[in-house]
Chain A
Amino acid sequence: MDWKRTREPADAWHMTDDLHVEHGKGDPFAAAIRATRMSMIITDPRQADNPIVFVNDAFLRLSGYERHEVLGKNCRFLQGSKTDKATVDLLREAIAEKVDVSVDILNYRKDGSTFWNALFISPVSNDRGELLFFFASQLDVSDRKRSEHRMTADKERFEKAVKERTRELEAALEAQTTLLHEVDHRVKNNLQMISSLIVMQSRTIKDAATKKSLTTMLERIEALSTVHRRLYQSKDVSRFDVAEFARDLVTDLLTASGRAEIKSTLDLEPIVISAEKATPVALMVNELVTNALKHAFKEKPDGTTAGRIGIKMSQPDGHFNIEVSDDGVGMADASGDASFGMRLIKSLARQLHADIEWRDAGPGTKVVISMPNEPQQKGNVS
């Protein structure tokens, strides 16, 4: 190594005395500082504006300056227009407070190009605690900063893409929800219209049997209407609370039927079934209840038709059981409409894989339907 090339001006040399190190070629400490690839400088805070009093070759290589251009100057010539002001303030404060500081700062070379400098500055004091120097090391971390920036940019790009995609999906969901509401609205309106048409037609009919037949038809359609009304009232349109439906149905059939003498006993566990089972289950319950109301409570010898109709819904081990009971005249006679009703019940039971059994409850009849049901979710659907 050519030590002459790196020889410092005379005034820079006194620092090695203060650092209690011998100077000169044989001094391993000074030699190490001069030769290391780590850029290092020393400044003298006891001189005006804290000038640089020593720089090693690594600093000159990093910054692109000549030694004579930097000695005697304050380090701020390394800063430029894009250097972060807050970081500079941090350095200034640390120097004023005479404490260690470590920052990443954007510095400028002589040719105006920039590099990220991992700067470390620490004060050096003598035994008496007097501040002698600031020792600063610089490390070019532009590569690390670049990858940091790249990562930040990537992250921002991803976040933007995710945001955009989320927006698209939200818009799609909203469109779908609007469509669902529209279809729901139409289905309900049409069901209402069908009911209205039947009622109006029925008004013009004089024949009692035909009228009765239309009324039965209306009841079935209204059972479907009640399903639809309840189905889209809940938050989850794929689930259906069959107990709530039964409550509506029985209230509806009893309150306005003018048959206040028939009392109902409802023993309903909240049971949720999938929406596709809602219609067949509802139709079946409707058949059983209307059947009981029509056929079971015939006029008794004392002239009254008082009675009790009971619905029980329970779910023992993975099954869903419905019991419709009455204390009426016993098994309904299977004639006319009743036989169609019976066929309907049996077909729906097949569709639902349900077992159905008529029991003589003496007095009255009890119909027990049992079908497999999926596990119940916690919480209510509505």
Chain B
Amino acid sequence: MIEPLKVLIVEDEALLAMELESLVEEAGHSVVGWATSSTEAKAMVDSTEADIAFVDIHLTDGPTGVEVAEYIGEKKNSMVVFMTANPKRIPDHFAGAIGVIAKPYTMNGLMSALRYLQEGVHRPPPKSVLPAGFTLSPAFKTVWAPAA
């Protein structure tokens, strides 16, 4: 049994954050915080311990999600997965993130992604197949899903 994930949610839409929280908890993981802006997110990164942060690109203070990912990358205390309806806004280097879950994701897609990430974070590389709608960054692709 792999230990559950501690998740930080960085999402400006309350409804989506609420639902994501329920799904994360249903899957046996815990949510350590929810931030709606980059400022809130940075403060939360400093004060909490999370294994993984789900980061939307558009936050209440603008398209600052990439900045948040970079901040987390510098702190090196958790990993980042973008969650956005606009994956084209993500820079090619992914700001160090594992990858992106493109919105709209499906409930099953998200559950698969959580399982995949749980394996990837605690027992890399993940054994599950890459879920539909989840795209790995080029850096993680070479490690987690090398071409056969």
Binding site for B on A (CB under 8 A): 181, 184-185, 188-189, 191-193, 195-197, 199-200, 203, 218, 222, 225-226, 228-229, 233, 247-249, 251-253, 255-257
User: Taking CB as reference atom, which chain A residue is nearest B116?
Assistant: A255
Cα-based distance from A193 to B20 in the complex (angstroms): 11
The contact of B109 among A185, A203, A252, by CB within 8 Å, is: A252
B37 to chain A, nearest CB (A): 17
Q: Which of B103-124 contact A (CB under 8 A)?
A: 103-109, 111-112
Task: Please tell me if the beta carbons of A252 and B104 are within 8 angstroms of each other in the complex.
Answer: no
Task: Please tell me if the beta carbons of B19 and A188 are within 8 angstroms of each other in the complex.
Answer: no
Name the B residues within 8 Å of A248 (CB-CB): 132-133
Is B18 part of the contact surface with A, judged by Cβ < 8 Å?
yes
The contact of A247 among B13, B15, B132, by CB within 8 Å, is: B132
Cα-based distance from A248 to B102 in the complex (angstroms): 13
Task: Please tell me if the beta carbons of B22 and A200 are within 8 angstroms of each other in the complex.
Answer: yes
Task: Please tell me if the beta carbons of B132 and A222 are within 8 angstroms of each other in the complex.
Answer: no
Task: Please tell me if the beta carbons of B86 and A185 are within 8 angstroms of each other in the complex.
Answer: yes
B52 to chain A, nearest CB (A): 18
Binding site for A on B (CB under 8 A): 13, 15-16, 18-19, 22-23, 58, 85-88, 102-109, 111-112, 128-129, 131-133
A256/B112 contact (C-beta < 8 A), A192-B105, A193-B13 known: yes
Task: Please tell me if the beta carbons of B18 and A196 are within 8 angstroms of each other in the complex.
Answer: yes
Task: Please tell me if the beta carbons of B85 and A188 are within 8 angstroms of each other in the complex.
Answer: yes
The contact of B131 among A185, A195, A218, A251, by CB within 8 Å, is: A251
Name the B residues within 8 Å of A195 (CB-CB): 19, 104, 106-107
The contact of B85 among A185, A199, A256, A257, by CB within 8 Å, is: A185
A252/B15 contact (C-beta < 8 A), A181-B88, A222-B107 known: no
A225/B104 contact (C-beta < 8 A), A188-B85, A252-B109, A255-B112 known: yes
Known: A188-B85, A218-B107. 7 other contacts (CB 8 A): A181-B88, A192-B105, A195-B104, A195-B107, A199-B22, A200-B19, A255-B112
Could you give 27 example pairs across A and B, Cβ below 8 Å? A181-B88, A184-B85, A185-B85, A189-B16, A189-B103, A192-B103, A195-B19, A195-B104, A195-B106, A196-B15, A196-B16, A197-B15, A199-B22, A199-B23, A199-B107, A225-B105, A226-B104, A226-B106, A229-B133, A251-B129, A252-B108, A252-B109, A252-B131, A255-B108, A255-B112, A256-B108, A256-B111
